[in-house]
Amino acid sequence: MKNIKEKISIVIPTLNEEKNLPILFSNLRKSLNGRRYEIIIADGYSTDRTIEIAKRYGAKVLFDNKGKGSAIKKGVSSARYDTVVIMDADCSNLPDEMVSLIKTINNGYDICMGSRFTNGGFSEDISWYRKIGNKFFIHLVNFFWKTNYTDLCYGYRCFAKSSFEKLHLKSDGFGIETELSIKVAKKKLKFIEIPSFEKKRRYGEGKLKTMKHGFEILMVILNELLTN
């Protein structure tokens, strides 16, 4: 009998990623050869051909107008399988790393976070000022919640859907990964980081605005400090 955890739901938030999707879908097919998986595109009402392309490749498409975090939550809640991967659409995350992410869940972890800053990880995509911001937030989180995270604001992750649902995440935007990391520590879930190589966005423009979304992430940390 096939192990049920071999089946994977891949949730990908998208906003105008028409040029990246064909490359991503074809790389996913190569990397996951032989595995059963579904792709869920959680789209923020793209105005380009993102939806047409996603449907052409057989992905399930959902819509959400609140932001990346909200789209991810919707995508995860519609996942058919208990092992869920979240990743970006811009070809920054390598599908070849997915098997290592999934293995950790098969081995009993609740969540596995890709890390660009642990031994063996790297980013071609992060600017020096975002790196400083990320480091500052990591130190805050590690200090307050006694964790040893080496990365925080990185969206290549795998988890058991049932564990994700226990966290009742509130963030609708780019604070979702930070809230997830903090709540995993608060709830004492079993987590692990593995090295990840973040490539440069292949096509199109990044949607993250450093100051605006940096502030959003800081608010997530403060809010988690003030609540149980």
Ligand X SMILES: Nc1nc2c(ncn2[C@@H]2O[C@H](COP(=O)(O)OP(=O)(O)OP(=O)(O)O)[C@@H](O)[C@H]2O)c(=O)[nH]1
Q: Which residues bind Mg ion (CB under 5 A)?
A: 88, 90, 92, 201
3-state helix, strand, coil in the chain (%, to 5): 40, 20, 40
For 121, the 3-state DSSP assignment is: coil
Among 11, 84, 89, 194, which residue interacts with ligand X (rule: CB under 6 A)? Answer: 89
Among 8, 9, 10, 14, which residue interacts with ligand X (rule: CB under 6 A)? Answer: 14
13 binds ligand X (CB under 6 A): yes
Q: Which one of Mg ion, ligand X, none is in contact with 89 (Cβ closer than 5 to 8 A by kind)?
A: ligand X
Comparing CB distances to ligand X, the nearer of 6 and 23 is 23
How far lies 202's CA from each of 59, 68, 92, 131, 184, in Å?
Answer: 20, 19, 7, 20, 31
Q: With CB under 6 A, what is the number of residues at the site for ligand X?
A: 20
Comparing CB distances to ligand X, the nearer of 109 and 175 is 175
Phi then psi for 191, rounded to 5 degrees? -130, 160
Tokens of 17: 């990623």
Q: Are 201 and 17 in contact, with CB atoms under 8 Å apart?
A: no
Please, which of residues 58-87 interact with ligand X by CB under 6 A? 64, 67-68, 71
- Closest separation in Å from C-beta 163 to ligand X: 22
From the number of C-beta atoms within 10 Å of its C-beta (0-12, 13-18, 19+), residue 204 rates as middle
Name the residues that contact ligand X, by CB under 6 A.
13-15, 17, 42-44, 64, 67-68, 71, 88-90, 92, 125, 201, 206-208
